[in-house]
Chains A and B, each alone.
Chain A
Amino acid sequence: MTLAVPNETFRAVALSALLLFAALFVWQLASTPSGGGRTQGLPGPAAVATVTWEMLSEPFYDRGPNDKGIGFQVLSSLGRVAIGYSLASVVAIFLGVILGLNPILLKAANPYIQILKPISPLAWMPLFLYTIKDATGAMILVIFMSTLWPTLANTAFGVSAIKRDYLNVAALLQLSWWGRFFKVILPAAAPTIVAGLRISIGSAWVAVVAAEMLVGGTGIGYFVWNEWNNLSLTRVMFAILVIGVVGLILDAGFTRLARAIAYIE
């Protein structure tokens, strides 16, 4: 009799399931009120599962400003991310290409980029609120700031590392600036640029939750804050799961994009 050796994927999936059960078990233990009954304890997996079912079965309801379905909240967050992220990506790629093509300019600008890069995008919030006096605009700008730097740095790096040969061919063929940009520079640096875009979408998703907790009104971050004020930790935990899953989907999209634009030299 032969004994089939399970392949790697199968073993990974099995281990994943095991880890999930272990996590659920620890969670269950942590949420069971201990003897004294001092606190109510955290909501357990069962409670969160029930709320998840409730919320997901009716994602698009609207019962006033503080009671909207999770679908609306996520869409409103994603909408902000889409605007801030797209604007920042266009600016970052454009600036990054210019910096990448001009080694001296890159060297000159680099110290400022290094200073600006580690600043938490939320630190800009008061400044934006003061200058544009609009909460939504300020949130979009915070997202803009959170996504600008990884894409900018990666684009500049990717473009400066483009092989001289490709640019020489573009020069010999007398391609226009835009021809060079779209036919040579962008595709040549695309793998590095997309790696930057992928880091950026992660930061944007992190930033939007925090920004909405501060000045929300709608959005998944505002939902978390609102449910905290309602002392509904079950819903907070549900929201945490939703944030994680949406982040996962966004990241998976960029993994696909990265695969599509990859090339072998």
Chain B
Amino acid sequence: MGAFLEVSYVSKYFPDPSGRGMQCIFKDVQCGIDQGTFVTVVGHSGCGKSTLLNIIAGLERASAGGVVLDGKEIDAPGLDRMVVFQNFALMPWMSVYENIRVAVKAAHPAWAQTQVHACVLKYIEMVGLTDAASKRPAMLSGGMRQRVGIARAFSVEPKVLLLDEPFAQIDALTRGAIQEELVSIWMRTRNTVFMVTHDVDEAILLSDRIMLMTRGPEAEIAEVVDITIPRPRSRTSIIEHPHYYKIRNHIIHFLVERSRKCDRPAEAMSHHTGGIHG
């Protein structure tokens, strides 16, 4: 039996910019994500992790292989998956309220106006933006904009939430606060989440499982690390956990030293499964 979200032997090729031929971005990526888990792919920029996310979202096509969500093959975008974008991707001509309403209405076309209104307010309140509901994104800080992005994604109640480096463009001080908000929202909703990031601390704070991707071209998932640090986690408590620095050093070591040599077998460590989780 496959997992809830099954990525099987997905490869992506792009036409080589320098001339003829195709360049392999990543090759034979496979992973299974169980329902209600938070899984993160960590890798260098350019390794194709965002491309992988876009393939799961249905925004891009895999060159080979396929993705199955809840028993159904993915070949186009759908309301069962929603993306939180790195650059927020809010409609700048719409207010916060309208940005979320367009999503709620899309997800629930049969709902009456009052039902839509209540739902929109609920999600605006969830991210603490009630006072800014009528403002346009340009009036908001990066952190507030991404709160809208998160609220919009949750508001369609997707089977899988896809987070594409969601905190990369937010200033460092705000970033931590929003990460913790996301943790607490996720603890309540227990959505299935697939996140992509290059921030190791962020990955450890949020994830149940971290997949380490090698550098491109021909990137692949070389290792899977299970994060067993108990929840609820916070930025301050997590660093006191005895495993925290072991995990962190292991991942950073991977990114710095080993991400090129993907063929070397994974070391056996107590907190990671080693090899590719299938």
Binding site for B on A (CB under 8 A): 163, 165-166, 168-169, 171-175, 179, 183-184, 187-188, 190, 261, 263-265
Which listed residue, B81, B91, B94, B136, touches A172 by the CB 8 Å rule? B81
Q: Which residues in A have their C-beta under 8 angstroms from that of B82? A: 172
Chain A to chain B contacts (Cβ below 8 Å), 18 pairs? A165-B85, A165-B87, A166-B91, A168-B59, A168-B83, A169-B89, A172-B58, A172-B59, A172-B78, A172-B79, A172-B83, A173-B79, A173-B107, A173-B156, A174-B78, A174-B79, A187-B91, A263-B138
- Size category of the B interface is 20 to 34
Q: Given A173-B156, A174-B78, A187-B91, list of 18 further CB < 8 A pairs?
A: A166-B89, A168-B85, A169-B91, A171-B58, A172-B78, A172-B83, A173-B79, A173-B102, A173-B103, A174-B77, A174-B106, A175-B102, A179-B106, A183-B102, A190-B93, A263-B138, A264-B136, A265-B92
Q: How far is the CA of A168 from the CA of B138 in the complex (A)?
A: 20
- Whether A175 pairs with B89 at a CB distance below 8 angstroms is no
What is the CA–CA distance of A190 and B91 in the complex, to the nearest angstrom?
A: 13
Whether B106 lies near A173 (C-beta < 8 A) is yes
A-B CB pair tally, cutoff 8 Å: 57
In the complex, residue of chain B having the shortest beta-carbon distance to the beta carbon of A190: B93
Closest to A184 in B: B91
Does B255 sit at the interface, judged by CB under 8 A? no
| Cβ contacts under 8 Å, A183 to chain B | 91, 102
Find A263's partner among B79, B106, B136 (CB 8 Å cutoff): B136
The interface residues of chain B lying within 8 Å CB-to-CB of A187 are 91, 93-94
Indicate whether B62 reaches chain A with its CB closer than 8 angstroms: no
Question: What's the Cα separation between A208 and B61 when bound, in Å?
Answer: 51
Is B204 on the interface with A (CB-CB < 8 A)?
A: no
Would you call A171 and B59 a contact (CB within 8 A)? yes
Interface residues of A, dominant DSSP: helix
Query: A90 → chain B, closest Cβ, in Å?
Result: 21
Contacting residues of chain B (68-122) with chain A, CB-CB under 8 angstroms: 77-79, 81-83, 85, 87, 89, 91-94, 102-103, 106-107
Within the complex, the shortest CB–CB distance from B111 to chain A, in Å, comes to 14
Which residues of the other chain, A, contact B138 by a CB distance below 8 angstroms?
263-265
Report if A263-B83 is in contact (Cβ < 8 Å); known contacts: A173-B103, A173-B156. Answer: no
With a CB–CB cut-off of 8 A, which chain B residues contact A174?
77-79, 106
Contacts of B81 in A (CB 8 A): 172
Task: Determine if B59 and A264 form an interchain contact, defined as CB atoms under 8 angstroms apart.
Answer: no
Chain B residues near A190 (CB-CB < 8 A): 93
Residue B57, interface by CB 8 Å: yes
CB distance from A47 to the nearest CB of B (A): 51
CB-CB under 8 A for A175 and B93, given A165-B87, A168-B83, A264-B136: no
Bound complex: CA A263 to CA B79 (Å)? 27
A188 to B90 CA separation, bound complex (whole angstroms): 11
Which residues in A have their C-beta under 8 angstroms from that of B107? 173
